[in-house]
């Protein structure tokens, strides 16, 4: 899904670009659905990600190792900026970020492993899916109603937008929480995601030296967790409770600890 990732990143970015001119100064200051961040802080986060992709900062061991705290730090650095300055940074760096991600789709660079501190290691081409996930999730879940404060509408999400975001989430699932999450899976269980972005994978208990879960395509376990792929983006990032979206068939005790612990960043 290499090319699909960059297409999805461009599509969600275009949707965000449609929304930005509609937001007034008061709305930028409203609390978003991302705890602790105003709507303008969500834009500052996306601007920071884009700027760091274009001009990576040198390693700094004093920075937080926890990825969420790192994002908070980068947002805090921009809290003194005007709305116009935050949006100018986003507008300047985002097109260059997209061009870099598109260039990274070509071999041999596409297959190079890239470590994303706090999130794991991914083939370079999959970084486009990371952007697709970030923009889609923050726009649809944190900024726009019904969960966010902005009363603007977009077309219903398509498979082309949702599937690449879910692909990144599933690639990150075994890595982001490591043994902490692996300890909750003692028997295989199936994630059955429906609707746009539909996919089915079996989560297998860790059995390798790295202590991580593994995911296999298809359904190969009697216990199933079913939700829409669109809802998965919300509940697997703990924006909404999984119990509001998931139906478990089979042995619920095999799935509940995993679902309670899962938190994709």
Q: Which of 240, 5, 250 minimizes the C-alpha distance to 127?
A: 5
Contact 172, 120 (CB under 8 A): yes
Cβ proximity of 75 and 28 under 8 Å: no
pLDDT (tens digit, 0 to 9) for every residue of the chain, 265 residues total?
468 999 999 999 999 999 999 999 999 999 999 999 999 999 999 999 999 999 988 887 887 778 888 899 999 999 999 999 999 999 999 999 999 999 999 888 899 999 888 889 999 999 999 999 999 999 999 999 999 999 999 999 999 999 999 999 999 999 998 889 999 999 999 999 999 999 999 999 998 788 899 999 999 899 999 999 999 999 999 999 999 999 999 999 999 999 999 999 8
CATH number for region 177-261: 3.30.1050.10
- Every domain of the chain and the residues it spans: 2-160, 177-261
Q: 35 has which bridge partners?
A: none
The torsion angles phi and psi of 65, rounded to 5 degrees, stand at -80, -30
Closest CA to 128 of 104, 108, 109, 106: 104
Cα 187 from Cα 256, distance rounded (Å): 12
| Overall CATH class of domain 2-160 | mainly alpha
Strands (E), the chain: 113-116, 120-123, 189-194, 199-204, 214-217, 224-228, 247-249
CB < 8 Å & 24+ apart, contacts of 91-95:
93/47, 93/50, 93/51, 93/53, 93/54, 94/13, 94/46, 94/47, 94/50
237 within 8 A of 230, measured Cβ to Cβ: no
Dist CA 79 CA 81 (whole Å):
6
């Amino acid at each position: 899904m290499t090319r699909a990732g960059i297409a999805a990143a461009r599509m969600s970015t275009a949707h965000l670009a449609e929304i930005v001119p509609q937001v007034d100064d008061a709305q930028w200051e409203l609390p978003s659905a991302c705890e602790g961040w105003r709507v303008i802080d969500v834009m500052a986060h996306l601007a920071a990600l884009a700027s760091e992709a274009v001009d990576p900062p040198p390693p700094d061991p004093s920075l937080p190792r926890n990825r969420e705290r790192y994002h908070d730090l980068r947002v805090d650095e921009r809290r003194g900026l005007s709305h116009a300055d935050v949006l100018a940074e986003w507008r300047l760096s985002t097109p260059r970020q997209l061009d870099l991600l598109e260039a990274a789709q070509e071999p041999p660079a596409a297959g190079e492993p890239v470590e994303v501190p706090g999130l794991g290691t991914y083939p370079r081409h999959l970084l486009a899916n990371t952007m697709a996930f970030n923009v889609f999730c923050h726009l649809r879940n944190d900024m726009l109603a019904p969960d966010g404060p902005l009363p603007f509408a977009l077309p219903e999400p398509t498979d082309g937008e949702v599937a690449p975001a879910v692909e990144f989430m599933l690639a990150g699932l075994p890595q982001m929480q490591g043994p902490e999450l692996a300890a909750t899976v003692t028997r295989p269980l199936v994630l059955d995601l429906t609707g746009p972005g539909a996919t089915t994978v079996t989560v297998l208990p860790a059995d390798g030296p790295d202590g991580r879960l593994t995911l296999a395509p298809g359904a190969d376990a009697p216990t199933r967790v079913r939700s829409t792929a669109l809802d998965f983006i919300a509940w697997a990032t703990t924006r909404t409770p999984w119990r509001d979206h998931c139906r478990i068939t089979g042995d619920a005790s095999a799935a509940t600890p995993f679902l309670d612990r899962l938190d994709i960043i």
